[in-house]
Amino acid sequence: MFIRDVFLTFSTEVLAIAGNFLTGVVLARSLTPAERGVMVLVMTLPWTVVSFVSLGLPQANIYLIGRNKRDAKKVLGNALVLSVVLGLVSVLVLSAAKDLLFRTVLNDLPSEYWLPLMMLVPILLVDVMALSILCARQRFDLFNLRRMVLPISMLVGFVIGLVVSKGGMGGGVGVYVVITVLMTVLGLALTWREVPLTLGFDRRLTGESLRFGLKSYLHDLVGGLNYRVDVYLLALFLAPDQVAFYAVAASLAEVAWYIPNSVGTVLFPRLSHAPVEENHQITAKVCRNTFVLTGLVVAGLLALSWLFVPWVYGFAYRATIPPLLVLLPGVLSMVIYKVLARSFTSRNLQQIPILAASVALMLNVGLDWLFIQRWGVVGAAMASTVGYTAAGGVLLVFFLRDSRLSWQEVLRPRWDELIGHWRWAKASFQSLVARSRST
């Protein structure tokens, strides 16, 4: 069941890779590098706000339903109410700070895009709450269906808005807003198939959610800033086209994370349901297999990026290659963090991943401030790689001490396991092909 769900989730991630890649090509070919840089801010801002105001409630939903056996209907109803309230409050607070933001990190963002982007904040909060319920119920078929539709819809929308209609920046922003709203509606509809949609505030349940969620919140907040702070500092110090070059490099490097992200999505609910004594062994097995598979993806990116980037994105984007190469070692190190963090979080020990992520964030911000002004986008990549490596190293030390396992058990691949996974995936693919032919 676990391998099947990972395979399904990873297949969805592969489709997302293809969709996001083609979307990036459409944006790069339809917009100037400077406009592409502005689109990076447009597509990053709402999610940054969500990471600040979600308070860890999506993770709390999974924990409460999985380990504490709370009623999914009540958890969902309470979460939806909280998401709307938190979203609206955050919009009001940010509106009060709008002038300061536009003088600093958002100085390249046209002011007319502010209102539609702020409207997306409560909508995105509702979306992540609904999807967390599907994860908690381990309905990865519905969860992945929703995730599968998103990159396809974005790609089709941008082709229509930018290539066919030649809508420019305004058309691109409009497409992003409309598709995001439609995906939230779809997510709610799929969740409704599993759990009835209700709205109901439960004070006791809110207390439980916040007690667990605030730990996850700090973890996700610090982690989210690790992934996004360089974009805002680049926007502060450099021109928008440099933001575009770095964003393309980061998106290509993070292709390697589709494997650990898929594994982690399935692993967390599994660990939340599993007895504590099984937690370490499951996590170690998943980590060593995920690390070697991700390493193969990183090796492929190192080998192919020299020809791939200019040919696909255009000659102007060759400036993407140096930061991409610098980012890849850090991306591989971060795999350790992404897998091991699920073990600690499933046991309500989020303070340990928070510590590891905080060390990484302090290094990332401090080095960004020094390196960006000296080496531009390559400096931002260097800072991220140092931070990612620190996060993985710190969490590995804590996990080894907690589990009493050796580092070889956590990182060294076992070929019999990899061969077994390959055979299972091959058999599943052959079965899928045979079924498609029979129909």
The pLDDT tens digits for 239-253 are: 888 988 998 888 888
- DSSP conformation class of 238: S
Query: Which residues fall within 8 angstroms of residue 412, CB to CB, at 6 or more apart?
Result: 288
Whether 434 has a pLDDT exceeding 80, the answer reads no
**Which tokens in the block code for residue 132?**
């967390």
CA distance 191 to 96: 35
Per the domain annotation, does 315 fall within a domain? yes
Question: In sequence order, what DSSP letters do the residues of 24-40 get, joined into one string?
Answer: HHHHHHHS-HHHHHHHH
Per the domain annotation, does 439 fall within a domain? no
**Which tokens in the block code for residue 35?**
């406009």
CA distance 341 to 63: 14
Listed range (112-121, 215-224, 342-351) with the worst mean pLDDT: 215-224
Per the domain annotation, does 11 fall within a domain? yes
Q: Which pLDDT value is given to residue 158?
A: 94
Listed range (222-231, 267-276, 386-395) with the worst mean pLDDT: 267-276
Whether 8 has a pLDDT exceeding 80, the answer reads no
Find, among 226, 298, 223, the residue nearest to 264 by Cα.
223
Q: Which pLDDT value is given to residue 347?
A: 80
Query: Domain range spanning residue 254?
Result: 2-433
Query: Which residues fall within 8 angstroms of residue 33, CB to CB, at 6 or more apart?
Result: 240, 241, 244, 245, 316, 317
Q: Which pLDDT value is given to residue 369?
A: 92
* Mean pLDDT for the stretch of residues 157-184: 92
Listed range (46-60, 209-223, 242-256, 301-315) with the worst mean pLDDT: 209-223
Per the domain annotation, does 375 fall within a domain? yes
Per the domain annotation, does 338 fall within a domain? yes
Q: Which pLDDT value is given to residue 329?
A: 93
For the chain, give the percent of residues with pLDDT over 90: 28
Q: Which pLDDT value is given to residue 411?
A: 87
| Mean pLDDT score across all residues of the chain | 84
What does each C-alpha distance from 252 to 143, 245, 372 come to in angstroms?
24, 11, 20
Residue 180 · residue 44 · CB < 8 Å: no
CA distance 243 to 240: 5
Q: Which amino acid is at 168?
A: G
Q: Which pLDDT value is given to residue 322?
A: 93
Confidence of residue 185 (pLDDT cuts 50, 70, 90): very high
Per the domain annotation, does 36 fall within a domain? yes
Q: Which helix (H) or strand (E) holds 1?
A: none
Q: Which helix (H) or strand (E) holds 150?
A: helix 140-158
Question: In sequence order, what DSSP letters do the residues of 319-388 get, joined into one string?
Answer: GGHHHHHHHHHHHHHHHHHHHHHHHHHHTT-THHHHHHHHHHHHHHHHHHHHHHHHHHHHHHHHHHHHHH
Number of domains in the chain: 1
Per the domain annotation, does 438 fall within a domain? no
Question: In sequence order, what DSSP letters do the residues of 160-203 get, joined into one string?
Answer: IIIIIS--HHHHHHHHHHHHHHHHHHHHHHHHHHHS-------H
Find, among 138, 116, 119, 120, the residue nearest to 62 by Cα.
138
Per the domain annotation, does 72 fall within a domain? yes
